Each structure stands twice: as C-alpha cells, then as structure tokens.
A and B are shown apart, each in its own frame.
Chain A
Amino acid sequence: MTLRVIYLRAMVVQLYGMLAEAVGTARVELEAHSTHQLRQELVGRYPALDGLSFSLAVDRVLVHHDMPLTGKEEIAALPPFAGG
C-alpha cells in the first residue's frame, strides 16, 4: 500500500482597505497553487469578501490571469484604488 501526500503551499496574503476591514485582519494565511485558486480560497474562507471587488498583486505587480504560485511570492489583495 502506498500513501501519497500532496503538499499545498501555505502563503501569507496581505489585505488592504475595505478587505482588511471586512475580514477583521490585514494578514491571512492560506494554501493555493495559483492566483485563481487563491482567490477562490480567500472568498471561500472569508465570506465577508464575497461580492467585494479586488485585484491580486504578486510580488507587487497586479496579476489578472491565472498564474501558478510557488509559495515564495509576496501576495496582496487590493480593493479599488483611491489615491491622487
């Protein structure tokens, strides 16, 4: 009998603005292989985010497509910008 263990990459996600307020913290940890999966995990685990508009930044660059993640990236979830 063989046992196969699949490791998911645990990563820190920084939350900003109304997202941090909705969840109650500026920092969460979850596991995801890709940005699309990470988004699903975020909304799934924190239903307060459901319906809120946000983009993902990987290593300080906005990513809109489905990008694979190794677990070493700096991730942030960003609500709409209001600067200037």
Chain B
Amino acid sequence: MNQEKKHRVKDIFVEGPIHPDFIATSIAKHTTRTDIGAHEIFLGQVRADHVVTSSAAEVRQPVTAIEYTAYRDMALERMTAIREEAFAQWPGMTCLHVHHSLGTVKAGELCFMVFASAPHRAAAREAVAWVVDRIKAELPIFGREVLSDSTHLWKTNS
C-alpha cells in the first residue's frame, strides 16, 4: 500500500467544503489497519477575518467565504513530490491523505485536510505539520475572499 501511495498521482481536490462526515468515514476506513497506532489530522477552516476595505474610513468587513481556484496540473505534480518526500522522511508512516477544496467554502466550513497514520504518534504528528507547511508554501492554489457586501479581496499566505 505504501508503494502505491508513493507513485500514483492522487487528486486532492474536492468541489466545495469538506464535510465532517467525510472525515469520520476516512477514519473509519482505517479500522482494519491494525498496524496503525496513531492518527494525526489537520483541518483548515475558513475563518471570518475582518479585512480593511477602506483605509480612509477604517472600514472592516468580515470574510463570508473563500473561492478557491488552482493551477491543477502543477498542484498535483507538486503534491506528488511532497508526498514522496514525506514517505522518504517518515518511512514508518502508513498512509497520508490530503484533500483541498475548490470553489466556494463559507466561513466556518472546512477547506483543507491532511491526515496521516503511523504505528506511533511521532511520525504522524511530524509528517502532518511538515506536509501542511509545504502545501501552503508550494501549491498554486488561489483564494478570493468574498466579503459581506459581495466585493472581494485576493488572499495571500503569509
């Protein structure tokens, strides 16, 4: 199973938000993998940041949703490389599941999931943190923050 996951290009993108039910189902699928002792899951949620829309009037509006787009081919290539590096760095890791939303995700909904399983917790915890950081830095994913008056701003990762 490890080899398969290393070499196949997996589509990480889902249309719309990631539903909590999906996460429960993902966890349940690992019941038969009795070599696993630890799961580590990172979930990204759209936050209602208050962004300045008029510096003169100091007007701030909450973000009501983010619309995600991506340079899909490059994102999947980058993700495949990150996945391979993760398994090389944490050879004990059993599996790694990554999902990212495209399209509209409202504030309060989930847009990003990195889920790693391993026999022991250190590998799972470290791998998830590392993969999350790499994805945020390297995947060509773009976000349009929709504001309450239906105007928008383009989001940038810091």
Task: List A residues at the B interface (Cβ < 8 Å).
Answer: 14, 16-18, 21, 57, 60-61, 74, 76, 78-84
Task: Tell whether B74 is near chain A: CB-to-CB under 8 Å.
Answer: yes
Contacts of B70 in A (CB 8 A): 83
Task: Tell whether B22 is near chain A: CB-to-CB under 8 Å.
Answer: no
Nearest CB to that of B156 among chain A residues?
A80
User: Shortest CB–CB separation between residue A29 and chain B, in angstroms?
Assistant: 18
Nearest CB to that of B77 among chain A residues?
A60
Distance in angstroms between the alpha carbons of A55 and B155 in the assembled complex: 16
Decide: B156 and A83 in contact? CB cutoff 8 A.
no
Decide: A78 and B154 in contact? CB cutoff 8 A.
no
Distance in angstroms between the alpha carbons of A14 and B71 in the assembled complex: 9
Decide: A83 and B136 in contact? CB cutoff 8 A.
yes
Binary flags per residue of B129-148, CB closer than 8 Å to A gives 1, else 0: 00010011111111110000
Interface hub of A57, A60, A61 (most chain B Cβ within 10 A):
A60
Q: A16-B69, A16-B142 are in contact. Are A81 and B137 (CB under 8 A)?
A: yes
Contacts of B100 in A (CB 8 A): 83-84
Decide: B77 and A17 in contact? CB cutoff 8 A.
no
Task: Tell whether B32 is near chain A: CB-to-CB under 8 Å.
Answer: no
Decide: A83 and B69 in contact? CB cutoff 8 A.
no
Decide: B142 and A84 in contact? CB cutoff 8 A.
no
Task: Tell whether B3 is near chain A: CB-to-CB under 8 Å.
Answer: no
Nearest CB to that of B131 among chain A residues?
A84
**Can you report 12 A-B residue pairs in the complex whose CB atoms are below 8 A from each other?**
A16-B140, A17-B142, A17-B144, A57-B71, A57-B140, A60-B71, A76-B74, A79-B154, A80-B154, A81-B156, A82-B156, A84-B100
Task: Tell whether B87 is near chain A: CB-to-CB under 8 Å.
Answer: no
Q: A18-B154, A60-B77 are in contact. Are A82 and B143 (CB under 8 A)?
A: yes
- Given A81-B138, A84-B100, 4 new contacts (CB under 8 A): A16-B140, A60-B74, A82-B143, A83-B142
